[in-house]
Structure 1
Amino acid sequence: MTFQAASREALAAVELKLLDVIEGTAAAAAGPLGEELFAVAGLLDREIGLRRTLADSSTDPAARERLANSLLDGKVGADTLQVVAAAVSARWSSPRELVDGIEALAITALLVRAERDGRLDAVEDELFRLGRIIADQNELEQVLSDRTAPAEGKLSLITALIDGKVDPTTATLVANLVGQPRGRGIVNGLESLAGEAAKRRERSVAHVVSAGPLSAAQQERLSASLQRIYGRQIGLHIEVDESLGGGLVVKVGDEVIDGSTAGRLDALRRRFAS
Structure 2
Amino acid sequence: MSGASREAQTAAREALTALTDSTSADAAALADELAAVTALLDREVSLRRVLTDPARTGEAKAGLVSQLLGEQLGGQATDLVSGMVRSRWSSPRHLVDAVEELADIADLVAAERSGTLDDVEDELFRFARTVSSSAPLRSALTSGTATASAKAELVRTLLSGRAQPTSERLVTRLVTQPRGRSLEGGLENLSKLAAERRNRSVAVVTSAVPLSDRQRERLGAALAKLYGRQVHLNLDVDPEILGGITVRVGDEVINGSIADRLDEAERRMAA
Q: TM-score, normalised by structure 1?
A: 0.93
Structure 1 portions without partners, runs of 5+? none
Equivalent positions of 1:63-212 (< 5 A) are 63-212=60-209
Q: TM-score, normalised by structure 2?
A: 0.94
Structure 2 portions without partners, runs of 5+? none
Aligned-pair distance for 1:88?
Answer: 1.6
State which of 5, 8, 13 in structure 1 corresponds to 2:3: 5
Aligned-pair distance for 1:148?
Answer: 4.3
Aligned-pair distance for 1:243?
Answer: 2.0
What amino acid is aligned across from residue 142 of structure 1 in structure 2? S
Aligned-pair distance for 1:252?
Answer: 1.7
Cα displacement string for residues 162-221 of structure 1 (whole angstroms, at most 9, x for unaligned residues): 112211211111111111101111122111110111111111111111111112111000
Cα displacement string for residues 59-108 of structure 1 (whole angstroms, at most 9, x for unaligned residues): 12112111111111221212111111111222111111111111111112
- Pairwise CA RMSD of aligned residues? 1.5
Contact 2:155 2:168 survives alignment (8 Å)? no
Q: Percent of aligned pairs with the same residue?
A: 48
Contact 2:205 2:247 survives alignment (8 Å)? yes
Larger mean CA deviation between 65-74 and 41-50 belongs to: 65-74
Aligned-pair distance for 1:126?
Answer: 0.9
State which of 221, 225, 233 in structure 2 corresponds to 1:224: 221
SS at match of 2:100: helix
Equivalent residue, structure 1, for 2:243: 246
CA distance in 2: counterparts of 1:189 and 1:163, whole angstroms = 20
Equivalent residue, structure 2, for 1:52: 49
Q: 1:19 to 1:226 in 2, by over 3 A?
A: closer
What amino acid is aligned across from residue 57 of structure 2 in structure 1? D
Contact 1:35 1:172 survives alignment (8 Å)? no
SS at match of 1:149: coil
CA distance in 2: counterparts of 1:164 and 1:16, whole angstroms = 34
How many pairs are equivalent? 271
Contact 1:245 1:262 survives alignment (8 Å)? yes
Runs of 4+ more than 6 Å apart? none
CA distance in 2: counterparts of 1:26 and 1:244, whole angstroms = 50
SS at match of 2:144: coil
